[in-house]
């Protein structure tokens, strides 16, 4: 019994050290605000057979009520493939798609590396059926965890008098890595951009479909310019899109 009794303080000491280490780690991980939060996925992105869906967990299905009345949904999701201490510690990155690859802070970019790996996409809603929201496209991988959905409300989400850095020209942002279309005031020629997009019209029907355009353009341009919702954009829709950008 004496030997057992002598071991008890050792056990308590070990538990105390482990608890202190856990507390120190938690305090360090809380950041400057002195607190941290737990976030749970509400669903996942599903991509298969050319279709893209937001598969919401059954226990959250009731939260989708009324979403079918909106044309677009804001999807907040998690860059799970980049969830490492190294990538979460990156504060500046190179904008590889731009000429000269300028450097920018991650808070001034849409880079998939940042302290909190939260991503955002605005998606056109095709249908809402039960716990499944089918969307036109999303810039995320199959299986990506979804954190939240919010309806896109233009009068709230689209402020006027928008300013962008000179490097953020539509040809580069919306899928034309060659940079063609640049020129004119502010380094951007809207008419040239329209013609550049229309050059992907392979069958000559006056529209550029999802299948005809590069993948980056599908994710970034199609869902914003396709006002008719038919999965393709024509010259008039692209021109209106450029006009709305205030270029």
* Whether residue 149 is found in the same domain as residue 216: no
Cα separation, 9 vs 26, whole angstroms: 25
DSSP per residue over 156-182, as a string? HH--SS----TT--HHHHTT-TT-TT-
* Whether residue 63 is found in the same domain as residue 145: yes
Residue 175's Cβ-count burial label (10 Å; 0-12, 13-18, 19+) is: buried
The model's pLDDT over 39-77, given as tens digits with 9 standing for 90+, comes to 999 999 999 988 999 999 999 999 999 999 999 999 999
Q: Are strands 51-56 and 132-135 parallel, antiparallel or unpaired?
A: antiparallel
* The total number of structural domains that make up the chain: 3
Contact yes or no for 115/88 (Cβ under 8 A): yes
* Whether residue 20 is found in the same domain as residue 77: no
Residue 52 lies in a domain: yes
What does the pLDDT read at residue 216? 64
- pTM equals 0.64
What does the pLDDT read at residue 55? 98
* Whether residue 27 is found in the same domain as residue 48: no
* Whether residue 64 is found in the same domain as residue 97: yes
CA geometry: angle at 72 spanning 71 and 73, to 5°? 135
Contact yes or no for 240/227 (Cβ under 8 A): yes
Region 190-195: what's the mean pLDDT?
70
Query: Residue 214's domain spans which residues?
Result: 170-244
Contact yes or no for 106/90 (Cβ under 8 A): yes
């Amino acid at each position: 019994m004496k030997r057992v009794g002598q071991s008890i303080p050792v056990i308590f000491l070990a538990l105390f050290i482990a608890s202190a280490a856990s507390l120190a780690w938690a305090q360090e991980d809380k950041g400057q605000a002195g607190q941290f939060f737990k976030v749970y996925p509400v669903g996942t992105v599903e991509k298969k057979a050319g279709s893209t869906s937001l598969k919401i967990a059954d226990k959250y299905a009731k939260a989708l009520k009324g979403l079918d009345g909106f044309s677009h949904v804001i999807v907040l999701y998690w860059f799970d493939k980049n969830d490492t201490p190294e990538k979460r510690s990156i504060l500046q990155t190179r904008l590889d798609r731009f000429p000269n690859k300028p450097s920018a802070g991650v808070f001034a970019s849409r880079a998939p590396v940042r302290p909190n790996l939260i991503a955002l996409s605005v998606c056109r809603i095709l249908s809402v059926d039960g716990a499944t929201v089918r969307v036109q496209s999303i810039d995320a991988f199959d299986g990506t965890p979804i954190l939240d959905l919010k309806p896109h409300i233009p009068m709230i989400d689209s402020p006027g008098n928008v300013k962008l850095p000179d490097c953020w020209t539509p040809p580069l942002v919306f899928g034309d890595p060659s940079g063609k279309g640049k020129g004119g005031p502010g380094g951007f020629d809207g008419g040239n951009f329209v013609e550049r997009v229309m050059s992907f019209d392979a069958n000559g029907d006056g529209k550029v479909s999802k299948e005809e355009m590069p993948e980056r353009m599908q994710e970034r341009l199609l869902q914003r310019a396709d006002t008719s919702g038919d999965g393709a954009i024509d010259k008039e829709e692209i021109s209106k899109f450029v006009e709305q950008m205030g270029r």
